[in-house]
Structure formats: structure tokens, C-alpha cells
Structure 1
Amino acid sequence: MASAALGCLFVLSCGAQKETGEKNQETNNTSANIEITPTPLPKKDNDVNADDNHSEEKSHKRVPIPSAEELAKLPPDGGPKYNRLVFEQSPYLLQHAGNPINWYPWGEEAFEKARKEDKPVFLSVGYTTCHWCHVMEHESFEDEEVAALMNKWFVCVKVDREERPDIDNVYMSVTQMMTGRGGWPMTVVMTPDKKPFFAGTYFPKQSRFGSTGMMELLPQLNDAWKNQRPKVGEVTTAIVAQLAEVSGVQPGETLDESAFRAAFAGFKRSYDSVNGGFGERPKFPTAHNLSFLLRHHARFDEESALAMVENTLTKIRLGGVYDHVGLGIHRYSTDERWFLPHFEKMLYDQALFVVANLECYQASDNERYADFAREVLTYVMRDMTDTEGGFYSAEDADSEGEEGKFYVWTKDEVSTILGKEKAERFMKVYNFTDEGTFIEEATGERTGTNVPFLQATLDVVARQLDIEETVLRKELASSRKALFEAREKRMHPQKDDKILTDWNGLMISAFAQAAQALDDKDYLAVARKAADYCLTTLKRKDGRLLKRARNGNAGLPAHLEDYAFMIHGLVDLYQASFETRYLKEALALADLTLKHFWDKEGAGFFLTANDGEKLLVRAMESYDGAIPSGNSIMALNLVRLARATGRTAYEEKAQALVQAFAGAIARSGQGHTQWLSALDFAMGPSLEIVIAGDLESKEAQAMLKTVRQRFLPNKVLLFREEGENPAIVELAPFLENQVAIDGKATAYVCREQVCENPVTTAKALAELLDKQNAKP
């Protein structure tokens, strides 16, 4: 029989594989004695999915969730039709409320039951839009035979990773240590005191194609618990000890410009000059990497960095990973050409993609990227915005039990909707074929349906078709509109309508930055409404944040990312609106973050607050994965707030924070690009720009436009209103003497604590900025 570590090697990639970076460790051999039969790892991520049984997921039907009135009549365990998850707010947990498994939400009730009955805890972690979570649910969790074994031998707990990133972080680290990789659905089996002894991801009901099945796995886990308890104890002790070692800071020598150059060299080596992006398939947008490259271009005048970003953004926009009919970006591409996506749409991807396009527009002065940003913002306003102002979390990949069904087309469907002539042009431009371009991932077979994508920009396509570009654009816009209206009549993918504080912070930032770069007050209104919603609904009376809201119910303790991303969004919103209340809120939240999350015995921010639930470890996260880490965003927040207000204590904390993770940043710059962007700001040159006068005056607006049309990532922009003791002076006392001269709008520009003479025209300000923005 094999080791537990080897037994855990049937971790299988589930479509939503975590971008592990430096965390992708070798298998931990400390758990070498539990006798569980191993299953080899697949050669490729999607080899595991190639089975005929996957097609059964198409008939997947969930039990309808009861109304509020019906819910109030149910017993605490959910009754015969439901389990305890029926009382939860998370759309992901509610998806499993009708499973025959006796699921519990994470909480003391479940672990107390495990202790009393001397059973291990079967923990399953996922999220609403995870395709392979849906597959495992249908194949295993809806199956009566699997459920019978799970209910008999385990206490079963479900967690939404988006609501509880702290739990996800700890046990994903365990999964990576025990298996060398990780993904969702995540499966961990642990003792009643939450110590893990087994980890994996997706498991079908029956073993097949190198995939260990639940009907084989569950009896082995039960045997290990009942007959190998001392060895289970040895494994848990070793895992917890190793977890403590990897959960803290990773200090190193003081970072300098060599960190930027090393990260850029890594991107240059992995850059796909043909298709854009980096590395091979699958390809993720990971837009904060592109934002770093734009800063590298600005710092070193490195034209190839800008070219990488422009090509990558363009190829993403051309590819099937972009929704050409309904707008918005899908989660990632399964191929190197950005053609075949995993179809879920995540709010954070929209936000980060918008920001990268806005910054590329400023850096390149190419209107194409402004248009890309506008399109994604249109999608978010139309489909992802609650009437009260907050932003929803995601849209699923699946509808009617099939991944991508909502988004793909047959040629006959398009011809019926558009008519023969327009349909032929549309299908030629968007590369439709009779056999279909959409390939079913599970089988590798073409489906007869097509994912619209472009092989070139429309100016090139127009020349190829010998048609005026304006004529082609107008016709295609009309065709896309007709297809969109027809698509709206289809069954939509499920929308995860919970409003998460952290992702809303990112989206507020995107709309606020768009309001500035595109000079659009409508975007400012959207950002303001969302921020006001969050600061009202997702903030407690004591000023601390809550994690999520849904259906009028706000709750759960906020984590580091919630504070960090909301501060980030509020600072951007202040710079877009100059309403001091947003800067004041950002400062208050920064102080709360330092009070409740800062490591007072060292440095760095913990993922959870000092009065939060105690897990195996109080983790710190540094890796900038699909989303930047809370620590890296807080480093940037502290620098920006220090430069904006003159509060040097924030700058000192930022320096200690970067130093705490300097070793990790130096070893893996490509996995810490948001850190490098923060370091770029901190190292300078940075600009402090103050405009004083009447905000609505023509000259003040001209000055603001002069600042905002330039790519000046390392700036703080403040506005001092006319009159004595305006509100901004209370927050930034150094503005007391920076006033309008002779009643004219006046700009003050400082670079590295050295200030130029004030100027009173937009032209003079432009000249000053261009001089001050010279390379260091």
C-alpha cells in the first residue's frame, strides 16, 4: 500500500485550477504511512475530464429553493427535501441544499457533531460558477449511493470560497503541500479539531481513466480513520507544522530596480509574440501583470513592454475569451490563441481588465483600448449591477446543464436571425464553420456550434473583404444587436448575485479610473452609487466592514482583501470626484486595517482580523494570483495615503510591509506584480499634484483633463476648494497654503518632496508634468 501523500496524488485539475506560482510545492512525504491506494496524476489538466459519463451533467436538475414563507416552516436540519444549507445566503451553498448529503455549513455545530460521533469531517470547497464543481455535484453529491456512505462515515461540510477565503487559503495550502497542485472543487478530510489528513480536488463516483472514484475512496478513508488512527495523527501533526512554516512572512534584502528588471525578463521569456499573453495554455488575463508591464515601460522607457501589453489586450479582445455578442471577458482560455474559453464571467476580471485597458490607452494614446474598457463597463452596468448600486459577483459558465450553451451558435440559428446576406458576412468575419468551432472539453469533439471570434482587427478584416470599415462596423453592430436580443430569450446561466466587499472595491476603482481617463461623469455616478451602497450596507456601526450582502442581508466578518480593495476604490473615487468624504472613509478603514490585521509582533497583514475565527494558522498571503493579494494592495494604499495626507506613519508601515515579503518578491517577481507596482510608486519618482480653485471652472477642468489624459501611475491628485479651511485641509494639512492665485485655478506639482513654482494654465501644467515625468 502507498503513502498518504501518494494517495493524495489523485488531485485532479477541475478547470478552475489555482494559479499556484511559487506555492506549487513538491509532494509532502511526511504523511508516508496511511495506507490509501494511489492514483497517478494525469499527464495534462484536461485528460481527467475525458469520459463519456460527463455528458450526464446535461440533465442536471436542482431542487428549487423554498420561498421565505416555506423556509420559515422547515426544521433546523432542512427536513426530508433539503439539508442545512437551505438556510444559507451563499448561492453556491444553496446549489447544494437539495443534495441527499447531510451538508452542514462551516460552524461549531458540524465539528461538535464530529467530536461526539468520532467521525472525520469531509470538507468540500467551491464556488458558484465553478464548472467542475457542478460536475462533481451531479456525479457524486447527488448520487444516493455516494451520499449514503458520506452520511454514514463523515460529517460533511460545504464552504463557499468567495465568502470564506480564510478557510480556502488554509486548506488550499494543505492541498498544495500534500499533492503538489490545487484547484476547485477542493476536497479535504480532517479530524474533528480541523487537522487535515487527506486532500484532493475532483472525484467522480466511480474510478475511471486514472481518476479515483468516491465509491473506492470513501471506504479507504473510513478504514484509515478507524484502523490507522495513530498514523492519521502523525500525518496531521506533520501537516500542521509545515503549514505554520509556510504561512508567515518571507523577508529578504532591500529591493531595488533589479526586482523590476528580473520580473520583466521572466515575462519576456514566456511572452507569446504571436498570440499575446504569457506561457502556454491555459491562458488567464491576469491583468495586473499587464499593469506592471506598463509601469516598467514608463520607468525604463522599455517599448517592448508596452508592445507586449498592446498585443495581449488586442488578442484577448479578438478571441473567443471575449463575449463578442454580449460584451465582457470570460474567465480564461483553454488554448493558447484565446479562442476557446471557460465561459464563466467574474466581476474581478472585468474590473482588472478595464483598468489595464485604461492604462494602456493613457500610455499609448490608442483609442482602441478606451473602447475595450467602455465595452466591459457597459456589460457590468447592464448585467452585473444591482438596482441599489452594488455589483454582483459572477455569471456561471453553464446553462441547461451544458457549459457554454448560452454563448455558442449554429450557422442555422444565425441565418434565421440575420437573414442570408448579413448572416454570411457575420459568420465569415467571426469564423463560423459547418462542423462548429466549439470543442467539448470532456470529449475533445466538435459540437456543431460556434464561438464567435476574430482573427484580425476590423480595419484589417474590412480590407480583406474589400468593404469600407465604417460600413462593416455598422452592419456588424446591427447583427450583434439582433443576436444579443435573440440570446436574451435563452435560459441564462445562473448569476451569483451576492455582493462582495472586496470585488466591489475593485469595480469601484475601475469605474472611478474610467471616469477620469475617459472624462465620463456617468461612470463617476456608477462608482459613487456603488461606494455609497457599500459604505451603508456593508459597514457596521463601529466602522468595520462586512463581507457580503445578498437579498438585503449583509453579514460575515470582512477579511483583509475587503478592507484593502475598498480603500483602493475609495482613493480612486476621491481622485475622480474630490469628495473628501471618500478620502476620509479610506483613512478610517486604513486605521482599522492596521488595528485589526497588522502583525504587531513582526510585520505584514494577516488574512483575518485579530478577533476573527481561529483556524489552524492565522495566514498571511503575498501571492498576486488571479486577484492581487490584500497585502500588496495595502502596500500601495499606505503609500498613496501617506503621499496624499503627509502621514509618514503610513509610509513607514508600507516600507516594513514590503520588507516583510521581499524574499518572496525577489524569488518570484512574476507572481508578485502588484507588489512591484506598489514598490514602483514607493521608490518614485512620484508626483503630488494639487489644483486649487473652483472645481467647476473651465480652467480647473482643463487642468484636470491635462493630468488625467497622461499615464502617471505614481501620482496623488488633490483638489483644494476655495474658501477658508476647506474639508481637504483637515485631512491634508499641508494644503493650507496651496491656494488659488489671484482667483485663478492654480496647480502645484511636487516631485520627491521638491515643488515647482505654481502654474495657472493647463498648458503650463502640461509642460511641467512632461518635465517632471522624465525618467529617474
Structure 2
Amino acid sequence: MPNQLIHETSPYLLQHAHNPVDWYPWGEVALQKAKAENKPILVSIGYSACHWCHVMERESFENKQIATLMNEHLICIKVDREERPDVDAIYMESLQAMGVRGGWPLNVFLMPDAQPFYGGTYFPPQNWANLVVSIKRAFDENYDKLQESAEGFTQNMLFKESEKYGLQADEELVFSEEELVTIFNRIRVDFDYEKGGMNRAPKFPMPSIWKFLLRYYATTKDERALQHLGLTLDRLALGGIYDILGGGWTRYSTDEDWKVPHFEKMLYDNGQLVSVYAEAYALTKDHLYKERVAQTIEWLEREMTSPEGGFYSALDADSEGEEGKFYIWKKKEIDYLLAEQAEEFNQAFNITEAGNWEHGNNILHLEERLWGVDNNKWDKMFGVLMAERDKRIQPGLDDKILCSWNGLMLKGLVDAYRYINEPKFLRIALNNAHFIKEKMTASVLTEDGKEARGLWHNYKNGKATLVAYLEDYASVIDAYTALYQVTFDEQWLKEAEMLADYTLANFYDAEDEFFYFTDSQGEELIARKKELFDNVVPASNSIMATNLYNLGLILDRQDFLSISKLMLNKMKKLVLTEVQWLTNWATLATQFVKPTAEVAIVGAESLNVRAILDETYAPNKVYVGTAEVSDLPLLQHRTAKNGETMIYVCYDKACQLPTSDITKALELMR
């Protein structure tokens, strides 16, 4: 018989719906049951593409004897961390406070009032069974001590971030070029100068670090940054972490060579990497980067796009119960499929009988570019292998649609269109933007009777069910602001402004001067957290600070600018000392070293002029534009002249003489 998860829409929860464990989804039913029966709660958190989550399910949660123990001693709650990042963040922080390294599956034991007292990640089956028994014994025999411990872990989460990290603003926000160099010198200590990326394994793509290097180089022209960026982007583009047949990056590399991937593909990685590679192409005009962007967007359109225009969340690492089976090759398969061309292919990709990985399996991995060869020949070989691979059983698709990840991918598409100027990229972007606006946005009235726009976090089977988090607002506002700047369609600017106003009304903590992760209208948990530190995905607060800065310039919203500057000001000391986890804040800092150009383009050719301007990489700017007239502050009283499209370059609302000469405009923007 199915358990209580059978009524959920999350693919991860549905994977567990037929376990013999009496799982409940997170919610009042399970929490009240724990109080009524006075039992400890197990909160087990994972996601659909998580390999070790699948392993623990097979070993323990599908084991009837272990399930019987769990059902007898615990109230068992399953959580999809991608649907409930708020719950995940709280219990991940509690686990780390216990001195345990976090990861997924995340298994945390709570008192009946939902306060945590013990936890861990993956447990082998016998260890897990023993732990369940021990937890119940401790709960029965040492209840008061466990309650005291749980209250201590909870109390630790209630400190304001400013208090916890000693965050104070200087009298005035100033970032010098020397301070930027200091930031770069701190982060480069951890570079892997031989293999790219950071000097550790496993190796994760860290898009916000590479974006910082791009913006740092644009500001300082420090060749050291460009050299390491090129090495890293090459390795990410050629290594096994990139699916050279089908497009798209996998989650991370298990080794230091970017060779052996952890095979799941996540939407959020690919959205950000498309942005980074598009920007890198704008700077370097390196054709490899352009190819990777285009191929990844082809994968997105082919495998990850819903009929309505939303983007799915992930492809699993496993197929047929085996990690990576869909992607790996035996030498004899390649020899048969490629015939007389096999030898050349095998040599380039180090394909051997013994395998370049394990169990005689080979991963498609390049050590260097395929220089000086006929690209059509290689494309034909890739096509043959791709056709054969398509006959295999596909990895599982997590087909829930998450607003935040769609925002990241939408921004990637906009950046790809901005710098590569392929109309198809804009078509896909607009389709997705309309999907978010129509299916994942709700109109609400504020207390003073004004219209506001609120988002939903998730969407599946025609409905959205979860109130959005700050990460949703941050990434969608960023994407809409960027979309306006390549289309000059003011509906996207209006949406971005309304969403930003909503976050200020419902997420902003005026006392701490940062944004909460959860909506004041949402569910009340044991703690209301803030996300300050950038990781694989930048912190929602760092994205919001950037959004408010750019929107503040475009809309002349001094309230937006003041809050943005205050947030960065309070983070400055940490950025100067702990930059590896604050690189998106550091990227915003690059916009304060030199003034941000406010570029207004007026006339019938405004969109074409924008495209030509973007052929030169100059990221520290905002655009506004119109074919005729607009009420936007930067466009008021600005017109075309004698039928010529005019470019107005301004700094802090002080404008240079308008020009129709693009070369002259670029000089003014420098």
C-alpha cells in the first residue's frame, strides 16, 4: 500500500511513496501526530537526482524490517530539498552546529516540537537500524537532556546575521581598485593552476567565481585572472563533466581532472554556466565557448522544456539502477559504431579496452581541443554515438518546475542572446518569461490597495502550491531586468519593479538590513533564516543587492540604491577576507570601483545599436531604450535626431553629449 506521499507532486517524494516506511510530507499532519504520540521525528531530506539518496532508499527504506523499526519508533517525514529549501536550510545548519559535515541524504532527528537534537547523512543499513533503536531509547530515557540540547541548537539559529558575523557599515561605501586586487589575491591562493578551478576534489563548477574573474578582468585588465579563467573554462568545456554528445554540464567532477562526473544534470548549474560562457565569449570571441552555449541550449530545448515553456529541474545520475550507465561506453561499442574512424576517436578520447574509468567503462573526456581537424567529421562521429545512446534507457527526469532555477536559466538565455545574437535564444527566453509571468505569478493587493506581484515556488500538473522564497524573487527579478535590456519591452521592467517592491514589503528585515529567505506570509518554522554566503548558486541576498542597484539606476529609485549600497557596505569586511564564499558580492563591488554607465538609446534602430554595442565586452553598464518615447527617467526628454538613433551615455544622471557614432559611444562608456 502507498504511504502518505502518494498525494504529492514532487518526483522525489513520489519515488518514496511505495516504501514500507510510513512517510509523511512536511506539514501539520505529521507534526501534530508527533506531539499527540510523543515520538521523535525523523526528517529525511534529499532530491530526485541524488545518487546516495537512491542508495539509502534501496538499502534501508525499502527494507521491511528496518521500515518496521522506523514506523514503530519514529514519525517519518520526507522532504524534497528543492521544493522546501527553507526546511533544508534550517536542519542543514543544525547538523553543522552538531559538528557533522552536511550533505544529502540529510537525516535529522527532532523533538516533537520540531527542534533538532541529532543528525547525519548517509548510513549503511545495519548502522541505520541500530541508530533508530538508539534514538528511541535516548528519547525515552533522556528526554530532558535531549530537549535541552535541541533548544540550544535552535537558539543558535535565532541570532541576527549582523550580530553573528559582526557586520557593520562604514560611513560611506567605497571600493578601490587596490581592494579589488586584494580580493583577487586572496581567492587565487586556492586556484588549481594546472587543471583549472579550485585546488580541491571533488570539483564543483562555481559560476559566481568565474563571473567575478570576468568582471575583475574587465575592471583591472589583470592578465592573471584571464589566464586562470581560460584554463578553467577550457577544462569545464572539454572534460567528462560536460556531455560532449548531448550538451549540458553535469553536477560536479569526482576527481581533480574534471574527468569523472557525478552524472546528474541540474538546471541551476546549466543556467549559470550558459551566462558565464556567453560573457566569456563576449570577452574572448573563443568559438569553443559559443559552441558550448549553443549545444547546452539545444539540450535545454530538447530534453528540459515543458510544453508550456517552463524548464524542468534535473536529470538523474542513475539509469537502470546504475550511476552514469546512460553516458559511458565500452571500447567494443565505439569500434563497432565508428568502424574505420574508431581508432582516431579512441586516441583523442583515451578510449581503452580496460576503460579510462572503472569496470572497463569509458567516459568521453578530452585533454585538449580537437585542433586542426575537420569539424564535420567529428560532428558526424558524435551524431552516430548520440543516435546509439538515444536507444538506451534514459535517466529519470525530475519534471517539477522551480521558479528560482527557471530564473537562472532565463538569465542564461538572455545573456546568450545578448552576446551571441542568435534569435532562437531570445525566442526560448521569451517563451519562458511569459510562462513565469502567467503560470507562476499571482496578483495581490497590498494593505493600501495597490497591485503587487507575488511568485509561486513550484509548478507541476497545471498548478503551483508553494509560496515563493527569496531565491525565486531574486533570480526572476535579475532575469526580467536583463530581458528588458535586450528587448526594451517595458513590461519586463514593470514586472521586475513590482516583484522588487514585494520583496521589500514581505522579506526585508529593516533591523538587520538584509532579506529573510522566507515570505512573511509563508509558513512559520522554528527559525527564519537569511542567506548571505554565495555557493554553487549565489546567495539570494547578494542577487537582490545587485538587482536593487541595477533597477535603482534604470528606474531612478533612490530607495533601491540606498538599500543595495547598505547591504554591500555591511558585507565589505567579509568580502575582503572570506571572498571565496562571497564572490557574487565581490562582483557587485566591481561596479563601485568605476562608475556604472547609464546608456540610453533612442530611435528606430535602438535594438540594433544595443546589439552592436554589446559586441564589445563592457559589463559595468545598464541600458534603457525606446524606438520613440518613454516615461522612464533616463529616457525623458531624449529623442532621435534627424531620423538617426542617438546614444546618450550618462554617469550618475550626468550625461555626455549624445552621439549616433557607436565608436564614440564606446569611448564614452570606457
TM-score by length of 1: 0.83
CA distance in 1, matches of 2:186, 2:511: 34
TM-superposed deviation, 1:362: 1.5
Kindly indicate whether the alpha-carbon contact (under 8 Å) linking 1:319 and 1:339 is maintained by their aligned counterparts in 2: yes
Shift of 1:771: 4.6
Q: What amino acid maps onto 1:643 in structure 2? A: L
The answer for the alignment partner of 2:370 in structure 1 is 458
Structure 2 counterpart of 1:540, from 426, 432, 442 = 442
Partner of 2:649: 749
Alignment of 1:729-744 (within 5 A): 729=631, 732-744=632-644
**Per-residue deviation, 1:702:** 4.6
Residue of structure 2 in register with 1:102 after alignment: 22
Paired letter, 2:351: F
Specify the SS of the correspondent of 1:388: coil
2-structure distance, mates of 1:500, 1:379:
18
Q: CA deviation at 1:245?
A: 2.8
Q: 1:215 to 1:701 in 2, by over 3 A?
A: closer
Question: One-letter code of the match for 2:65?
Answer: E
The equivalent residue for 1:607 is 517
CA distance in 1, matches of 2:8, 2:592: 43
Partner of 1:6: none
The CA deviation string for residues 188-241 of structure 1, in whole angstroms up to 9 with x for no partner, is 0001111000011111112xxxxxx11211111111100001110221121112
**C-alpha deviation, 1:244, in angstroms:** 1.8
The change in CA–CA distance for 1:217 and 1:122 in structure 2 (over 3 A counts) is same
Matched, 1:112 2:56: no
Equivalent residue number for residue 432 of structure 1: 351
Task: Provide the C-alpha distance between the structure 2 equivalents of 1:377 and 1:358, rounded to a whole number of angstroms.
Answer: 12
1:500 to 402, 408, 427: 402
Aligned equivalents of 1:263, 1:428: Cα separation in 2 = 42
Which of 78, 81, 87 is equivalent to 1:158?
A: 78
Please list the CA deviations of residues 647-679 of structure 1 after superposition, one character each: whole Å capped at 9, or x if unmatched. Answer: 111101112222343444333111011111122
Shift of 1:316: 1.1
* Separation (CA, whole Å) in 2 of partners of 1:246 and 1:128: 33
Counterpart residue number, 2:594: 684
**Letter matched to residue 455 of structure 2:** L
Secondary structure of 2:347's aligned partner = helix
1:316-340, Cα deviation, whole Å (9 max, x unpaired)? 1111111111111111101111001
One-letter amino acid of the structure 1 residue matched with residue 132 of structure 2: L
Counterpart CA distance in 1 for 2:573 and 2:217 is: 24
Matched-pair contact (CA < 8 Å) for 2:162–2:512: no
**CA, structure 1 residues 247+218, in 2 after alignment: closer, same or farther (shift >3 Å)?**
farther
Question: In 2, are the aligned partners of 1:524 and 1:577 still within 8 Å (CA)?
Answer: no
| Structure 1, gaps ≥5 residues long | 1-80, 207-212, 439-445, 463-468
Given that 1:604 and 1:656 are in contact with CA atoms closer than 8 Å, whether structure 2 keeps it comes out as no
Deviates more, 1:242-251 or 1:490-499: 242-251
1:582 aligns with 2:488: no
Quote the offset at 1:368 in angstroms.
2.5
1:624 maps to what in 2? 534
The 1:246/1:171 distance shift into structure 2, 3 A limit, reads: farther
Q: Does the 8 Å CA contact 1:331/1:345 hold for their aligned counterparts?
A: yes
SS in 1 for 2:159: helix
1:422 aligns with 2:341: yes
Secondary structure in 1 aligned to 2:76?
Answer: strand
Task: Decide whether the 8 Å contact of 2:191 with 2:199 is kept in 1.
Answer: yes
Deviations 1:614-667 (A, max 9, x none): 112110011111101110000000000011111111101112222343444333
Partner of 1:759: 659
Matched pairs, number: 656
**1:772 is matched with which residue?**
669
Match of 2:448 in 1: none
Find 2:155's aligned residue among 218, 241, 246.
Answer: 241
Counterparts of residues 210-609 of structure 1 (less than 5 Å): 213-245=127-159, 250=165, 251-254=167-170, 256-257=175-176, 259-418=179-338, 420-438=339-357, 446-459=358-371, 462=372, 469-470=373-374, 473-542=375-444, 543-609=453-519
Classify 1:683/1:638 alpha carbon distance in 2 versus 1 (closer, same or farther; 3 Å): farther
Q: Structure 1 residues 603, 413: closer, same or farther in 2, change over 3 A? A: same
- Hey, what's the Cα distance between the residues in 2 that align with 1:356 and 1:718? 23
- Say which SS state the counterpart of residue 291 (structure 1) adopts: helix
State the Cα deviation string for residues 244-279 of structure 1 (Å, max 9, x = none): 237566413546335533331133211112111111
Instruction: Output the CA distance in 1 between the equivalents of 2:641 and 2:559.
Output: 32
Q: Which amino acid aligns with 2:581?
A: G
1:685, distance to aligned residue in structure 2 (A): 1.9
Aligned partners of 1:393 and 1:500 also within 8 Å? yes
For 1:743 and 1:633, the matched residues in 2 are separated by: 39
TM-aligned CA deviation for residue 283 of structure 1:
0.7
Letter in 2 for 1:574: Y
- Indicate how the Cα distance of structure 1 residues 734 and 411 shifts in structure 2: closer, same or farther if over 3 A, else same: closer
The question of whether the paired residues in 2 share the 8 Å contact of 1:187 and 1:201 is answered with yes
Q: What residue number does 1:35 align with?
A: none
Is residue 179–residue 200 contact of structure 1 (8 Å, CA) maintained in 2?
no
Distance 2:461 2:565 in 1: 41
* Matched-pair contact (CA < 8 Å) for 1:720–1:739: no
Q: 1:433 touches 1:450 (CA, 8 Å); kept in 2?
A: yes
Tell me if structure 2 keeps the 8 A contact 1:104–1:158. Answer: yes
Mapped to 2, the partners of 1:246 and 1:653 lie a distance apart of 18
Cα distance per residue 1:373-398 (max 9 Å; x no partner): 11211211111111211111110000
Is 446-455 or 97-106 further displaced after alignment?
446-455
Output the amino acid matched with 1:457. R
SS of the aligned residue for 2:649 comes to strand
| C-alpha separation in 2, matches of 1:396 and 1:224 | 37
The amino acid across from 1:689 in the alignment is V
User: In structure 1, what is the Cα distance between the partners aligned to 2:573 and 2:272?
Assistant: 26
Q: Single out whichever of 679-688 and 510-519 deviates more from structure 2.
A: 679-688
Greater shift in the superposed pair: 665-674 or 592-601: 665-674
What is aligned with 1:19? Answer: none
Deviation, structure 1 residue 718 = 1.0
Deviation at 1:610, TM superposition (A): 1.1
Of 547, 552, 558, the match for 1:637: 547
2:122 counterpart of 1:202? yes
Q: Distance in 2 between matches of 1:313 and 1:485?
A: 28
8 Å contact 2:481–2:493 — kept in the other structure?
yes
8 A contact 1:318–1:453 mirrored in 2: yes
Tell me, in whole angstroms, the C-alpha distance in 1 between the residues paired with 2:229 and 2:104: 29
Taking only the aligned residue pairs, the percentage that are identical comes to: 38
TM-superposed CA distance for 1:534, in Å, is: 0.8
Partner of residue 449, structure 2: none
Give the whole-Å Cα distance in 1 for the aligned partners of 2:547 and 2:3: 43
User: How far does the alpha carbon of each residue in 1:716-767 deviate from its partner, in whole angstroms, 9 at most, with x for none?
Assistant: 1111221xxx4x41xx23411111012211110113443211011xxx3223
> Which SS does the other structure have where 1:129 is aligned?
coil
Give the whole-Å Cα distance in 2 for the aligned partners of 1:229 and 1:662. 44
Structure 2: how far apart are the matches of 1:454 and 1:365? 21
Q: Determine if contact 1:720/1:738 at 8 Å carries over to the other structure.
A: no
Letter matched to residue 239 of structure 1: F
Any idea what the Cα deviations from partners look like across 1:443-470, whole Å, max 9, x if unmatched?
xxx21110011111111xx4xxxxxx22
The answer as to 2:615 corresponding to 1:709 is yes
What's 1:76 paired with? none
CA distance in 1, matches of 2:480, 2:464: 20
1:499-544: CA deviation from partner (whole Å, max 9, x where unpaired)? 1000101111111111111111111111000010011111123221
Question: Is the alpha carbon distance of 1:567 and 1:404 closer, same or farther for their aligned partners in structure 2, counting shifts above 3 Å?
Answer: same
For the aligned residue pairs, the C-alpha RMSD in angstroms reads 1.5
